[in-house]
Amino acid sequence: MYYISRLKVMIVLIGLISTLIQCSPNNSTSSKPKHLSEIDSLLKSPEVEAFSGAVLVAKKDSTIYLETAGFADIANQVVLTKDHQFVIGSISKQITAVMVLQAYERKELDLNKVIRAYLPKLPQPWADTVTVHHLLTHMHGIEALNKPLNFEPGSRFEYSQLGYDLLAKILEKVTGKTFADLAAELFAQCKMMNTYHPQRKKEAKLAKGYTAKPNGELVFETSSFRNYVAAGSFISNVEDMVRWNQQLYQGKLLKPATYQLMSTRYATRQHPIFGEIDYGYGLTFEKNESKIKIGALGFAPGYVSANFYFPQTQTSVIILQNTARYLPDFKKTFFYQTKILDIVKKGITEN
């Protein structure tokens, strides 16, 4: 009888412990912060086109949300994982800007020097008036290498891919290294082992990019690397993008005064998604939000991305997607990026 009673007590205790574990905040989905649960609901909503990609939210050095969905290869039904890489589009510009600013810190170039000093073979006379600073801020007016300027340098903003390609050529000139090698050195410095220049894409676990036809059919995109690399063709994944933010915003890549140059608002443009936004060196800020949200959206054929940082809470939000729909209506194309950013921003202000 004694042993039977003891056995009953043990069974009761095990049941109580099991109940406590199931109700523990660390094991209950109800313990997830409301705004992170809202991201779950958005990604699983039957009311919008299915999400294919990866979403990561990190606070300081800890991942607080990570979700993947869809296929890295639709034809072969390869399930997409957090390790897959994506072409990150214009997020590439801040990487190039850091390389330029590191060269500036080494006194290899002057931001206010005309680009003729570094690229003497440029055919147009504007090489004697456009500076490195103008290239970084899209305020140079260069339309093509064989054409005159669209406007006087520094007088207004005009978004340019070519300007960042010229920055890559300047870096090659002043360092004596290829842009691909310079990028690889920076990624190694940041311990970004899953980030690549396209010349090394064979090493990457690259998710295939898809563009939707007007009827909604997703077609494998063959021109994903048509942008200049320095402006829009680096390859990365969500975890490496968080590492990038940690390095950049925690002062591990640039001196404080140099980072201040990078994050200064130099120009304003009417953005097709955010409306009026300000530009620094490869970084964008919504109007009156320079201390709230910093980062950039990215587009490459077949890929839609966002990398933003909320400095007050040291929160990174990375959304990398390998399907591009509703082109050229970018508000619809970037639906998930803008919705998730709004959810995180709201969650931060409420907590």
**Mean pLDDT for back-to-back runs of 10 residues, the chain (351 residues):** 42 38 38 86 90 97 96 97 97 98 98 98 96 98 96 96 98 98 97 96 92 96 96 98 97 98 93 91 82 92 98 96 96 96 87 64
pLDDT at residue 349, rounded to an integer: 73
| pLDDT of res. 27 | 35
Q: What pLDDT, on a 0 to 100 scale, did the predictor assign at position 46? A: 85
Distance (Å, rounded) from C-alpha 218 to C-alpha 221? 9
Q: Which residues contact 202 (CB under 8 A, 6 or more apart)?
A: none
The DSSP line for 94-123 is HHHHHHHHHHHHTTS--TTSBGGGT-TT--
The whole-number pLDDT of residue 290 equals 55
Q: Is 76 exposed, middle or buried (0-12, 13-18, 19+ CB in 10 A)?
A: exposed
Which pLDDT does position 351 carry in this prediction?
Answer: 64
- 214, exposed or middle or buried, with CB in 10 Å at 0-12, 13-18, 19+? exposed
The pLDDT value recorded for residue 286 is 84
Per-residue confidence (pLDDT) for residue 28, from 0 to 100 = 37
- What is the DSSP secondary structure assignment for residue 206, as one 8-state letter? B
pTM of the model: 0.89
Structure tokens at 4: 């039977």
CA-CA-CA-CA torsion for 155, 161, 167, 171, nearest 10 degrees?
Answer: 170
pLDDT tens-digit map of 218-260: 999 999 999 999 999 999 999 999 999 999 999 999 999 999 9
With the CA atoms of 300, 177, 141 and 268 taken in that order, what torsion angle do they form, in degrees rounded to the nearest 10?
A: 60
Contacts 24+ apart (CB under 8 A), 291-294: 292/345, 293/341, 293/345, 294/249, 294/263
Q: 189: closest CA among 258, 244, 257? A: 244
Ramachandran angles phi, psi of 59, nearest 5°:
-115, 120
Q: How far apart are CA 274 and CA 292, in angstroms?
A: 14
CA distances (Å), origin 287, targets 82, 152, 277, 282 = 32, 25, 5, 16
Measuring CA to CA, which residue among 61, 57, 86 is closest to residue 72? 86
| Structural domains of the chain ordered from first start | 35-350 (3.40.710.10)
| Cα distance between residue 45 and residue 69, in whole Å | 12
Instruction: Tell me which DSSP letter residue 129 carries.
Output: T
33 burial type by CB count under 10 A (0-12 exposed, 13-18 middle, 19+ buried): middle
Concatenate the DSSP letters of all residues of 134-180 into one string: HHHHT-S----TTS--SS-TTSS----SHHHHHHHHHHHHHHSS-HH
Both structure tokens of 331:
């508000």
